[in-house]
Copies of this chain bind each other. A is one copy, B any other.
Amino acid sequence: MTAVPQFDPVIHPPARLQLAAALSEVDDMEFGRARDLLGVSDSVLSKHLAQMQEAAYVRLRKAPLGGRQRTWLVLTAQGRAALKAHVRALQDLAGIVG
C-alpha cells in the first residue's frame, strides 16, 4: 500500500544527484574537477561513478592529456532522463509548493 512513488535509488543520494546535476550543465567534466566539486576523495567518486555507470547514467571517456591519461565524465541520455524524472517526481510530490 505504498501510495507514495519511490525515487530512483541510483540518483537520489546527494553526491550522485549533485554529480548528475553538475554534469547536466556541461558536455563533460574531468574526474579531478568533479571530485573537487563534490568535495570527496578519489575513491569515493570512483565508487559513485561505478554505480552510475552500471545504471548507464554516466559514461567515462579516457584519453591522454598532457602526456597523462585522464578521465572525462559524460552524462548519458539515460542519465539526463533520470535526473529529469527525479526533479519532476519531486515537483509532483511537492505539488505546487513553491
Enumerate chain A interface residues (CB-CB to B < 8 A).
Answer: 1-4, 6-7, 12, 14, 17-18, 20-22, 24-25, 36-39, 80, 83-84, 86-88, 90-91, 93-95, 97-98
Contacts and interface: CB of A to CB of B under 8 A. Distances in A.
A86 B14 CA distance: 12
A98 B2 CA distance: 26
Interface residues of chain A: helix, strand, loop or mixed (majority): helix
Contact of A91 (B25, B39, B87): B87
Contacts of A86: 90
From A12, A84, A93, name the one whose CB has the most chain B CB atoms within 10 angstroms.
Answer: A93
A31 to B, nearest CB: 15
